[in-house]
Amino acid sequence: MSNQAFDASIPVLTEVFDKEEAPAAAALPAQGTLHADLEQRAIDTWTEPEWTLLERRLSERILQQLQGRVDFVLEQRLKDSMEEVLRHAVAGLTAEIQQGLQQTIEKIVVRAVAQELTHLQTLKK
């Protein structure tokens, strides 16, 4: 801090903010009051076509928001379902391939043993 004397003509920071905020806050009505005033003015002065237009715009906006959410939920459920179906299909396919491979190996071994036995029997004669 400096050693200069305090000059009363220069406002301190808190005085500046208090002066700037006070008129702005006093000029604006409370948020709830503003909404209530707008609602009452609409009820008192709007015509049927204006209410119909508002209803249509609100319906469109709500439908767009809902459609986005529905699309997300549907996509997520579809992914989950597909994951389960694919997991089941892969498990079934794996079991089928293993069984087929097992049968093929057994046939190859049986044939190889039969050929070897036949070969040994021909050598014995």
Asked whether residue 40 is assigned to any structural domain, the reply reads yes
Structural domain count, the chain: 1
- Whether this prediction's pTM lies above 0.75 is answered by no
Domain span at residue 35? 11-45
CA angle 65, 69, 72 (to 5 degrees): 145
Amino acid at residue number 34: L
Q: Coil, strand or helix: which one is 28? A: coil
Asked whether residue 103 is assigned to any structural domain, the reply reads no
Asked whether residue 63 is assigned to any structural domain, the reply reads no
Asked whether residue 119 is assigned to any structural domain, the reply reads no
pLDDT for 12 equals: 56
Asked whether residue 35 is assigned to any structural domain, the reply reads yes
Nearby residues of 29 by Cβ (< 8 Å), 6 or more positions away: 37
CA 109, CA 112: separation in Å to the nearest integer?
Answer: 5
pLDDT for 1 equals: 45
Amino acid at residue number 12: V
Asked whether residue 17 is assigned to any structural domain, the reply reads yes
Asked whether residue 93 is assigned to any structural domain, the reply reads no
Half-sphere exposure of residue 123: CA atoms within 13 angstroms, side-chain side: 6
Each residue's pLDDT, cut to its tens digit, for the chain (125 residues) gives 444 555 666 665 555 555 545 455 455 556 778 888 888 888 899 899 999 999 999 999 999 989 988 999 999 999 999 999 999 999 999 999 999 999 999 999 999 999 999 999 888 87
Asked whether residue 82 is assigned to any structural domain, the reply reads no
